[in-house]
Amino acid sequence: MDRSVIALLYGPDQPGIVAKVAGWIHQHGGNVLHADQHLDRQENIFFQRVEWNPEASRDLRAESDAFADFATNDLGMKVRIALSEDRPKIALMVSKADHCFHDLVLRVKSGEWNAKISGVLSNHEGMRNSAEGYGLEYLFLPFSKGSKKEVEAKQLSWLQEQGVELVILARYMQVLSSDFLDRVGCPVINIHHSFLPSFAGAKPYHQAYQRGVKLIGATAHYVTVDLDEGPIIEQDVTRVSHRHGPKDLIEKGRDLEKLVLSRAVRRHLQNRVLDYGNKTVVFD
C-alpha cells in the first residue's frame, strides 16, 4: 500500500487555496495522489480532501503535523488528518438485532477495512457468545429505571480507556443522552431503518407499511442531540409492493441496513466524510 497522508480541510473560501495547498505539498517533495474539493456557494465554505505521498525520507507524523500547522495558521482552515498506516479503534454498540454486528465484524476480520474493533457494548446478553467467538470483549450493561446516567458513565469510561476513535450504533435501540454525546469525544455513526426524514422515530417499517410506500430505505448518519436529525452520510432504498407485510419489510430492510451502514463506515474510515451544519460532504 501507499504510504500517504490524507487531509480534510474546510473553512471560509478565499482566492488561491487550491494553489497554496498543492504548492505546499510540492515544495515539501510530496506527490499528490488525489485531490477533490467542493465549494458550498450558499455558505461560501470551501472543502478539500487531498491525499499525497510525502518525500520518501520524511516521517509521516512530522509531515502531518507540519501540514496541520500550515493549514490552520496560514490558511485559517479547520483540518483533520489521517495516515495510511492508521488503524482506528472502533466500538460497536448493539441491542438485539445482530445482522449489522456480524456484517461489520466480518469486514474488519477479513481485512476489508483498516481498523480494529475494541469491543462490543450491549444492553442485552444475546450477542455475547458470538462476540466472544470472534475474540471480542463484550461489555453487558443493562438499563433499569433510573440507571441511564450510571450506565452511560460506565460506557464512557470504557470507551475512553480503550481509546476508541469511532462508535458505531449497529441497531442499538437506546437513545444516547446529550451528556453522553458531549463527552464521548469521537464520532458516533447510527443506522436508522428508514429513508429519513420519512418515518423517523420508532417502528419505521410498520409506519412504511401503513403508508403504503413502494420503496423502503435505510439511512446512516452521525448522531447528534436531535434524534434522527444528524448529518446523513449514506442512504439507499429497495423496492417493495403490496405483497410485503411488516415482517417482509423488516427482512428486506436488514440487507439494506447492512449495506448502507457498511458504506458509511467505509467512507468514514477512508477519511472521506466532512460534516458541517446538518450535512455532510462525502468525497468519493
Helices (H) and strands (E) in the chain, counts: 8, 13
Give the H or E element holding residue 227: none
Give me the count of residues in the chain: 284
Residue 145 engages its own copies in binding (rule: CB under 8 A): no
- Give the one residue of 12, 133, 163, 201 binding its own copies; rule: CB under 8 A: 133
Which stretch in 137-145, 168-176, 185-193, 209-217 sits in contact with its own copies by CB under 8 A? 209-217
Cβ proximity to its own copies: between 10 and 172 the closer is: 10
Q: Does the bond joining 187 to the residue before it have cis omega, within 30 degrees of 0?
A: no
Can you tell me which of 31, 147, 160, 177 binds its own copies, judged by CB under 8 A? 31
Among 155, 190, 262, 271, contact with its own copies (rule: CB under 8 A)? 262
Closest separation in Å from C-beta 215 to its own copies: 5
Q: Is 278 in the site for its own copies (CB under 8 A)?
A: yes
Inter-residue contact 261 to 168 (CB < 8 Å): yes
Helix H or strand E encompassing 119: strand 116-122
Which position among 6, 7, 25, 169 is part of the footprint of its own copies (CB under 8 A)?
25
Q: Is the distance from CB of 195 to CB of 249 less than 8 angstroms?
A: no
Report d(CA 217, CA 242) in Å as an integer.
16
How many Å separate Cα 33 from the centre of its chain?
23
How many residues touch its own copies under the rule CB under 8 A: the total is 62
Number of Cβ atoms within 10 Å of the Cβ of 250? 19
Residue 184 CB, shortest distance to its own copies, in Å, is 22
Ramachandran class of 212: left when φ > 0, alpha when ψ lies in -120 to 50, beta otherwise: left
Q: Which of 36, 59, 228, 275 is catalytic?
A: 228
Does residue 248 belong to the site contacting its own copies (CB under 8 A)? no
Known catalytic residues are 228
Q: Which residues bind its own copies (CB under 8 A)?
A: 15-16, 18-19, 22-23, 25-26, 31-42, 47, 98-99, 102, 106, 110, 112, 133, 195-199, 210-215, 217, 231-237, 241-243, 245, 251, 254-255, 259, 262, 278-282, 284
